[in-house]
Chains A and B, each alone.
Chain A
Amino acid sequence: MPAEERETVAWPADGYVAVVKQDCPTCRLVEPVLAGLPGLTVFTQDDPAFPEGVADRRDDTDLDASLALGIETVPTLVRFAGGVEQGRVVGWSRAQWAELTGVAGLGEGLPEYRPGCGSRTQDPDVAEEILVRTRGGSLRARRLEIAALEDEAEALFDRGFTDGLPVVAPTPARVLRMLEGTSRKPDEAVAVVPPNLAEATVEKVAINAVLAGCRPEYLPVVLAAVEAACTDEFNAHGLLATTWGAGPAIVVNGPIRAEIGMNWAGNALGQGNRANSTIGRALQLVIRNVGGGRPQEVDRAALGHPGKVGFCFAEDEEGSPFEPLAQSRGVPPGRSAVTVFAAEGPRGLADQISRTPESLARSLAQGLRSVCHWKLPGGFDASLVLSPEHGRTFREAGWDRARLHWELDELLLLDRAEITRGAGGIEEGVPARASDRPVPKFRPGGYMIMYAGGGAGMFSAVIGGWAGGPGGSAPVTREVDPWR
């Protein structure tokens, strides 16, 4: 029940209030003391008939008074004067009870001191309900009822909230726990989400993070990713509406990778790690549910790819021969960030023979050249995920990221004779021109180089993108820490 619908609890403005439970041996021990204290109101958390001999004994099995008084231990004795708390004693202590009440010789025959027991408000079995009762009022999202005869998982499918895989029901308690992952308030705006240009609040993002299966500590990453994906530069609307099959992918840098247990080692781009799998999914569910971007509606992809369920991974910064991607994009060292970029599914690039950086770079350039079409330059962006066994070759040669970019740029100058329409017996290609100057495969800054993967395997991966730059989509980096 929302807090505003509950009756407020009250007790006399002057006198003593004790909170007890029959289940607690210390409470039972002080039963005769309570019976003898004048001006006392007792709230009982479990058995309304306990303690005996108290005139003003009140049922607090719904714990309202305990919560209002902030009780963590029973018994707790509180003194009020003029409605203001004057002091409290936790557990049984003859000296402290005597001092608080001014009654000498309390509890004759009782031990001097006994610690109390945990208040029922601390019990795990009521924690969820108390969370909703005390903080549910901060939630603004419409409450929906899944009826008694509906299967919970089926109901979430039927209402269209899922990407085709089961989701976790976003109950108020789960959403409140998710919101503990950020210091931001639930009603703060995160972004305006395309295609419907609906405002996503922190709460709406948290609801979708619950659906996706995120843990609360992933929420700042999801919030940063939503912020990044909803920028003009990233152009999520265009990426959604194109018939090309790419979707948003997220690469994570900085300390938060380890804090939330992301995977950047073996199978870095694959399944099996909760953070990797659910963060990318949460972003896609925000676009689906808040933005209204659904397949065969605004999402016009002819083919799409399985990573559109969610595509998120972390860079291996510790093993990388290069500085972290986020630092190369302007984020100060030691800070966490997400970079959101347009992504097809990854495709492996094998080279198990090259021992020189020059030879390996040529192999990688051949793979990058095939993005979109081997004969088409200038339009599409891409990403290269360098694996440890390929990274080693560049480390040993002393190549940094800038050097590798520079070498690849040279290798990706395309010979006009090879890419003109009709060349190679392929009608696709660029129109014939008078100039025979070579044409760069990518626009300036049109491909990123990242580092991740397991220690064995001379295989890197190319991730094709979509039309780059203005009119298309450019990668966007945002810091995570402001969303913590």
Chain B
Amino acid sequence: MAVSPGGATGSLVILDPTDESAPDARTALRRPASLDGLRVGLLDISKARGDVFLDRLAELLADRGITVRRYAKPTFTKPMPPDLRRDVTTECDVVIEALAD
């Protein structure tokens, strides 16, 4: 048939089961007012020179009283492996991922 299922190629259209008061696209999680008391992680995607950037970012955050945990992906070419994802999600409330180039 010459008719697509409704949306862009490969997407699936569903009907909203809610009262439609929320935005219609997937949205990022609600942000906290500040990072005070939150566990912050820096995730290095392991591209060249990214470590220098992240080292400095960690210093700057430390100056503001925010200590960070550091993580590194084995390779920037793939999503986090499951064990790293588990560590990051259990040990962090906030994660900053850098630096894609």
Complex contacts, B21 vs chain A, CB 8 Å: 196, 198, 292
Proximity string of chain B (1-15) to chain A, C-beta cutoff 8 Å, 1 when within and 0 when not: 111111111111111
Contact indicator A143/B11 (Cβ below 8 Å): no
A142 within 8 Å of B by Cβ? yes
- Chain A, 131-174, CB within 8 A of any chain B CB: 132-133, 139, 141-148, 152, 155-156, 158-159, 161, 169-172
Alpha-carbon gap, A142 to B14, bound state (A): 9
Contact indicator B18/A161 (Cβ below 8 Å): yes
A326 within 8 Å of B by Cβ? no
A75 to chain B, nearest CB (A): 21
Contact indicator A207/B17 (Cβ below 8 Å): yes
A63 within 8 Å of B by Cβ? yes
Contact indicator B17/A208 (Cβ below 8 Å): yes
- Tell me the dominant secondary structure on chain A's binding face: mixed
Q: Chain A: which residue is nearest B12 at the CB level? A: A146
Contact indicator A126/B1 (Cβ below 8 Å): yes
Contact indicator B6/A132 (Cβ below 8 Å): yes
Of the A-B pairs whose beta carbons lie under 8 Å apart in the complex, a sample of 26, sorted by A's number, is A61-B1, A62-B3, A132-B6, A141-B17, A143-B7, A143-B13, A143-B14, A143-B15, A144-B14, A144-B24, A145-B14, A152-B12, A155-B26, A170-B15, A171-B12, A171-B13, A171-B14, A171-B15, A172-B13, A172-B15, A196-B21, A198-B19, A203-B15, A207-B15, A290-B19, A292-B18
A204 within 8 Å of B by Cβ? yes
Contact indicator B16/A142 (Cβ below 8 Å): yes
Name the residue among A147, A169, A203 with the largest chain B CB count within 10 angstroms.
A147
B63 within 8 Å of A by Cβ? no
Complex contacts, B9 vs chain A, CB 8 Å: 148
A1 within 8 Å of B by Cβ? yes
Residue of A63, A148, A159, A161 touching B1 (CB-CB under 8 A): A63
Residue of A63, A155, A290 touching B18 (CB-CB under 8 A): A290
Complex contacts, A142 vs chain B, CB 8 Å: 15-16, 20, 24
Residue of B2, B11, B24 touching A147 (CB-CB under 8 A): B11
- Chain B, 1-50, CB within 8 A of any chain A CB: 1-21, 24, 26
A317 within 8 Å of B by Cβ? no
Alpha-carbon gap, A158 to B4, bound state (A): 25
A250 to chain B, nearest CB (A): 19
Contact indicator B14/A146 (Cβ below 8 Å): yes
Complex contacts, B2 vs chain A, CB 8 Å: 61-62
Name the residue among B9, B14, B20 with the largest chain A CB count within 10 angstroms.
B14
Complex contacts, A196 vs chain B, CB 8 Å: 19, 21
Q: What is the interface of chain A, defined by CB distance below 8 A to chain B?
A: 1-2, 61-63, 126, 129, 132-133, 139, 141-148, 152, 155-156, 158-159, 161, 169-172, 175, 196, 198, 203-204, 207-208, 211, 285, 289-292
Alpha-carbon gap, A203 to B19, bound state (A): 12
Complex contacts, A159 vs chain B, CB 8 Å: 26
B13 to chain A, nearest CB (A): 5
Complex contacts, B24 vs chain A, CB 8 Å: 142, 144
Q: Chain B: which residue is nearest A125 at the CB level? A: B1
Alpha-carbon gap, A170 to B1, bound state (A): 22
Contact indicator A170/B14 (Cβ below 8 Å): yes
Alpha-carbon gap, A161 to B21, bound state (A): 13
B6 to chain A, nearest CB (A): 7
Q: What is the interface of chain B, defined by CB distance below 8 A to chain A?
A: 1-21, 24, 26
Contact indicator B12/A158 (Cβ below 8 Å): no
The 5 residue pairs across chains A and B that have the minimum distance between CB atoms: A148-B10, A198-B19, A142-B16, A141-B15, A289-B17
B62 to chain A, nearest CB (A): 33
Name the residue among B5, B9, B16, B21 with the largest chain A CB count within 10 angstroms.
B16
Contact indicator B3/A1 (Cβ below 8 Å): yes
Given A148-B9, A158-B26, A159-B26; A143-B16 close (CB under 8 Å): yes
Complex contacts, B15 vs chain A, CB 8 Å: 139, 141-144, 170-172, 175, 203, 207
A172 to chain B, nearest CB (A): 6
Complex contacts, B20 vs chain A, CB 8 Å: 141-142
Complex contacts, A207 vs chain B, CB 8 Å: 15-17
Alpha-carbon gap, A129 to B17, bound state (A): 21
Contact indicator A62/B1 (Cβ below 8 Å): yes
Contact indicator A129/B3 (Cβ below 8 Å): yes
A287 to chain B, nearest CB (A): 11
B65 to chain A, nearest CB (A): 30
Contact indicator A145/B11 (Cβ below 8 Å): yes
A82 to chain B, nearest CB (A): 31
Alpha-carbon gap, A159 to B25, bound state (A): 9
Contact indicator A1/B13 (Cβ below 8 Å): no
Contact indicator B1/A292 (Cβ below 8 Å): no
Q: Chain B: which residue is nearest A162 at the CB level? A: B17
Complex contacts, A156 vs chain B, CB 8 Å: 14
Known: A141-B15, A145-B8. 4 other contacts (CB 8 A): A129-B5, A143-B7, A148-B9, A161-B18
